[in-house]
Amino acid sequence: MLMFYIILFIMTFVLLTEFVKWSVRRALNVQNIKRKPFSFEPYKINDLHYKIKTWMRIGYAFCLFFILPATMAMAQDSLLHIWLVFIIGISLAGPLRDAHFEYWHSDTPMRAFVTLSEGGMILLAGIFIFVFNVPEIVMSV
């Protein structure tokens, strides 16, 4: 039953995020980025953006592969809260980086507001996780 609610929560936030991005794009008259489905071609504004994105991903990989297993082995509630804050921070760092480069270094600076709305939805999801006390629910199962 818990998995059903988690999947429902994720599906609701994905749909809500797509609706918010669509409405912001429509309000600001911003074109959608055309990409091939399932392509791994990176979104690159300029070389500096690509380098920063690469180094951030290497840092995320280091944290998730080496630090996460070490702290999860301790299995304490406070560490789970810290890791949720860390994962929400990682999730917010990407859209904030992209929004900065879209606004200051691209031909279409209005697209930065679409990216910021995506980051706002990620932050809202993180707030809901802590308001509904999801870490305690998961740890009690």
Question: What is 6-34 written as a DSSP string?
Answer: HHHHHHHHHHHHHHHHHHHHHHHT-PPPP
Confidence of residue 112 (pLDDT cuts 50, 70, 90): very high
Tell me the pLDDT tens digit for each residue of 124-133. 988 888 888 7
Quick check: is 55 in a domain?
Answer: yes
Residue 134 lies in a domain: yes
Higher pLDDT, 82 or 90: 90
Taking only the tens place, the pLDDT of each residue in 20-70 is 999 999 999 998 877 777 766 777 889 999 999 999 999 988 888 877 777
Inside any domain, residue 96: yes
How many domains does the structure of the chain reveal?
Answer: 1
Residue 99 has pLDDT above 70, yes or no: yes
Instruction: Work out the mean pLDDT of the chain and round it to a whole number.
Output: 85
Could you tell me if residue 7 is inside a domain?
no
Let me know if 124 is exposed, middle or buried by CB neighbors in 10 A (0-12, 13-18, 19+): middle
Provide the residue range defining the domain that includes 133.
Answer: 46-141
- Residue 17 pLDDT > 80: yes
> Is residue 21 one of the residues assigned to a domain?
no
Give a yes or no: residue 51 inside a domain: yes
Amino acid 56 reads M
Position 11 in a domain? no
**Residue 48 pLDDT:** 94
User: Could you give the CA distance from residue 38 to residue 93 in angstroms, rounded to a whole number?
Assistant: 23
Q: Looking at the domain assignment, is residue 29 inside a domain?
A: no
pTM score of the predicted model: 0.82
